[in-house]
Amino acid sequence: MNVIVVGSGIAGLTAALHAHEGGHRVTLVTKGALGDGCTGYAQGGVAGIYGPGDSAAQHASDTLDAGAGLSDAAAVAVLVQEGADRIAELIARGVAFDRGADGELLLGREAAHSHARIVHAGGDATGAVISRALVSAVRATTIAVHERAFLVDLVVTDGAARGIRILAGGEVSELHADAVILATGGAGQLYAHTTNPLGATGDGIAAALRAGAAVADLEFVQFHPTILAAGPAFLISEAVRGEGATLIDDEGRRFTFDSHPDGELAPRDVVSRAIARQAAAQGSPVRLDATMLGAERLRRRFPTIDRVTRERGFDWAAEPIPVTPAEHYLMGGVVTDLDGRTSIPGVFAVGEVARTGVHGANRLASNSLLEGAVFGARAAAALGSPALPYEFVSPPSRFRDRNSYRSGAPAVRFGRDALQRLMWDEVGLLRTSEGLARAAETIRGWRAAASAPATLAEHEDANLLLLAEATASAALARTGSVGAHYLEPATEPVLETV
Ligand code: SIN
């Protein structure tokens, strides 16, 4: 069959390769150049290789714990059972994961993992190494590649996918297909501070919403705890804490134990909130102390972080560095079954755009590249095969219609910066129901006043506004704190549990 894959991170590249190898005619459409996107920025690695004393069952248990009770156990079982095969496949496609002198894969540890089970490449350049290998693999095939082609909308006729509408070179056109696999990534550009690249504007989720696909869990937005608090957002991998680095306040005290018995290795949402609260209390960023790891080990294990921190004037082997949370990952997205099928026949979603149920309310570190590879392959294998019964819930009609654009008079003038600040302030790490209501109202006003988009930037803004409204609405609807959705209570628990 004719298959369009939209997006060229690990999920899209894996889906495209598997679909091609399965005998389908594949067209890969991507907004930037092939391999642009979030995958190339991933530092930590891919969880899923089990050393002595570890097992797929323990990985599943850690994933379910991090997800705060809202993960889908069947999806988690698929993830951990098929992960090792996908890692082997990456190796076969040329990904040189780091190995010790004995030739064995080196296994790193990150927060909320009970064991070291994360393979990495180039030290802290895992995503870039994977991306290069998969892009080369795609280039070596007859897969048709359309770069700099922006997904405007899904084309859905008689309830089934017929292709996509794209904007490329200033022109809108249609590409026809029997199936569309969305692999467009997340929506970090909703927020003023994010680890995501500029292209992360939620285009696939927005297109799916407009087409009437079921979308869920948008309120679960992950904030990575440790972004260098100097200059443009730059991630300091959780693997640094996994190696033993600590988080300290302005008196040098390890404050994260006040929030959770696992301290720096508590789930990401807990550590991020502890950092935000401590920074607010002391009026300055908290610091990550990696000095105990020594200059040689830091340079060898984390070459990218070592270079960038030094470029920004820090010698992290000699002094603790300032860190702060930033938006990192969207747990929610287009609802899928275990094979990436969405509620629209012929439309699949894989990777961050999808809500497979793996992550629940909070994603476990280094499960995202794994999820992209596992479910990218599964979606390709399921092309053309009938779906098992699966219950999907349609989104409200106000999210569906581009024709709902009409003139209005918003209280505050829309601009992408203003939206990002509003989302950061009111729909961020620490939320209040009043703030969420304020944000939802402002965003609704902006959306109502927007003109129909024409340029790429206008399409991205429209997508961000649609997702912002859906995210604020989802957050308002969830009245209790769970995982990454945290409502400031009147009296706050001192010790957080998962
Ligand atoms: C990190 O290296 O800390 C990020 C890994 C991830 O988001 O899974």
Q: What is the pTM of this model?
A: 0.95
Residue with tokens 């004393």: 53
Contact 50, 62 (CB under 8 A): no
pLDDT score, position 356? 98
- Helix 416-426 to helix 433-449 angle (10° resolution) is 160
Mean pLDDT of 139-143: 98
pLDDT score, position 495? 56
How far does CA 392 lie from the centroid of its chain? 22
- Measured between its terminal Cα atoms, the distance across the chain in Å is 45
Domains assigned to the chain:
2-220+331-382 (3.50.50.60), 226-326 (3.90.700.10), 399-477 (1.20.58.100)
Alpha carbons 4 and 269: distance in angstroms, whole number: 35
Tell me the CA distances in angstroms from 49 to 84, 314, 474, one per residue in order: 6, 34, 35
- For ligand 1, say whether the CB of 186 is within 6 Å of any of its atoms: no
Task: Find the 416 Cα to ligand 1 centroid distance in Å.
Answer: 26
For the cut 90, the answer to whether the pLDDT of residue 433 exceeds it is yes
Task: Find the 385 Cα to ligand 1 centroid distance in Å.
Answer: 34
Task: Find the 388 Cα to ligand 1 centroid distance in Å.
Answer: 33
How far does CA 186 lie from the centroid of its chain? 5
Task: Quickly state the pLDDT bin for 468 (edges 50, 70, 90).
Answer: very high
Which ligand 1 atom is at minimum distance from the Cα of 366?
8
Task: Find the 328 Cα to ligand 1 centroid distance in Å.
Answer: 9
Of 169-178, 251-260, 320-329, 377-386, minimum mean pLDDT range: 377-386
Q: 432: which residues sit within 8 A by CB, 6+ positions away?
A: 426, 487, 488
For the cut 60, the answer to whether the pLDDT of residue 2 exceeds it is yes
Cβ burial 375-409 (10 Å sphere, 16+ → b, else e): bbbbbbbbbeeeeeeeebeebeeebbeeeeeeeee
Tell me the CA distances in angstroms from 339 to 74, 205, 264, 390, one per residue in order: 12, 18, 35, 11
- For ligand 1, say whether the CB of 237 is within 6 Å of any of its atoms: yes
The pair of structure tokens assigned to 41 is: 């920025």
Chain segment 34-69, per-residue pLDDT in tens: 988 899 999 999 999 999 999 999 999 999 999 999
Give the up-direction half-sphere exposure of residue 349: CA atoms within 13 A in the CB hemisphere. 32
For the cut 70, the answer to whether the pLDDT of residue 436 exceeds it is yes
The three-point CA angle 4-474-163 to 5° equals 15
Residue among 268, 363, 378, 444 flagged as catalytic = 268
Q: 100: which residues sit within 8 A by CB, 6+ positions away?
A: 106
How far does CA 427 lie from the centroid of its chain? 17
Alpha carbons 199 and 313: distance in angstroms, whole number: 28
The pair of structure tokens assigned to 56 is: 């797929």
Alpha carbons 436 and 46: distance in angstroms, whole number: 34
Alpha carbons 113 and 264: distance in angstroms, whole number: 12
Of 78-82, 386-390, 436-440, minimum mean pLDDT range: 386-390
What letter would DSSP give residue 190?
A: G
Alpha carbons 287 and 285: distance in angstroms, whole number: 6
How far does CA 2 lie from the centroid of its chain? 28
pLDDT score, position 37? 84
- For ligand 1, say whether the CB of 111 is within 6 Å of any of its atoms: no
Chain segment 376-423, per-residue pLDDT in tens: 999 999 998 877 677 787 777 778 766 454 445 556 789 999 999 999
Task: Find the 457 Cα to ligand 1 centroid distance in Å.
Answer: 28
Cβ burial 277-293 (10 Å sphere, 16+ → b, else e): bbbeeeeebbbbbbbeb
Contact 228, 323 (CB under 8 A): yes
Which ligand 1 atom is at minimum distance from the Cα of 369?
8
Of 219-223, 390-394, 494-498, minimum mean pLDDT range: 494-498
Tell me if residue 257 falls in helix, strand or coil. Answer: helix
Handedness of CA 47, 366, 105, 261 (dihedral sign): negative
Q: Does residue 268 carry a catalytic annotation?
A: yes
- For ligand 1, say whether the CB of 239 is within 6 Å of any of its atoms: yes
- For ligand 1, say whether the CB of 365 is within 6 Å of any of its atoms: yes
How high is the mean pLDDT of the chain?
A: 94
- For ligand 1, say whether the CB of 238 is within 6 Å of any of its atoms: yes
Percent of the chain with pLDDT over 90: 91
